[in-house]
Amino acid sequence: MSSASYPTVTASKKGIQLDPRTKLLLLLTITTLMFSTSNEGIMNLIKPLLSLVPFILILSERRFQTAAKYLILYAACFALERVALIWASGLPSFVLLAVTSIMTRFAPGIMMGAYLIASTSVSEFIGAMERMHLTEKIVIPLSVIFRFFPTVSEEYQAIRDAMKMRGIRFGGKNPFLMVEYRLVPLIVSVVKIGDELSAAALTRGLGAPGRRTNLCRLGFHAQDLMAALFCVACFALFLLQPQIAFWGGVRG
């Protein structure tokens, strides 16, 4: 799932349009429930459903390659995790179970976060945070972070292309210089990027005492309501799973 196949800024709005607050709710739901320790009962159904949310959203934006890579990776790790739990034993089983468990828990949250950043502009994000009445002490750092990782990714791609032109690559003439010639410029760029993004945020009036205007159209629609109800249902089933297991045992 390379960053090159998933651009950081969408030129035109495509796919399922969700409010940034709805995307944050989905991200919170996925990261919270996917990291729950329980893998029994109703969670065996909830976790695969949650893992499909980023796939559907990315697929709706016609990022077919990224969606396919994510689906194949998650399905393979999910199947191998079940194999390790049932049939395998010993050290290989432990290693396989550890790797696949980490992937099945991290991948959905990472992809949902990537979708949030790729499909939401900084103005939309700031407007949504202001409607939540968050203080500027939270909004300004979040707005800087929101653009930080995409900018670092673009900077790394530029450094990588420049190094390839000079023959510095894996398997090239000077493979050991890759760390020095790629990571050192990237570290220097990261420091500059942080300062520049902070200055850009203040230049746009984020620290001004008056209320900022916003041209972005924000608001909840039918798809936002459906996503919110889905999140509430997942949390409710997660909290009620002991009672569900009890009544299932009584009926059995």
Question: What token pair was written down for 252?
Answer: 């059995």
The set of residues, in sequence order, having a beta carbon less than 8 Å from that of 132 and lying 6+ positions away, is 21
- In degrees, to the nearest 5, what angle opens at C-alpha 233 toward C-alphas 229 and 239? 145
CB atoms within 10 A of CB 70: 23
According to the model, what pLDDT value does residue 53 have?
Answer: 94
What the block records as the tokens of 205 is 């009036």
pTM: 0.77
Tokens of 123: 């103005």
pLDDT of residue 106: 93
Q: Is the dihedral of CA 219, 222, 223, 229 positive or negative?
A: positive
What is the rounded distance in angstroms from the CA atom of residue 201 to the CA atom of residue 218?
20
- Residue 81 near residue 99, CB atoms below 8 Å: no
Residue type, 63: R
Domain boundaries, the chain: 18-120, 135-205
Consecutive 10-residue runs of the chain (252 residues): their mean pLDDT?
41 76 94 79 85 93 91 91 76 83 91 90 83 81 79 84 73 63 81 77 68 76 94 90 60 54
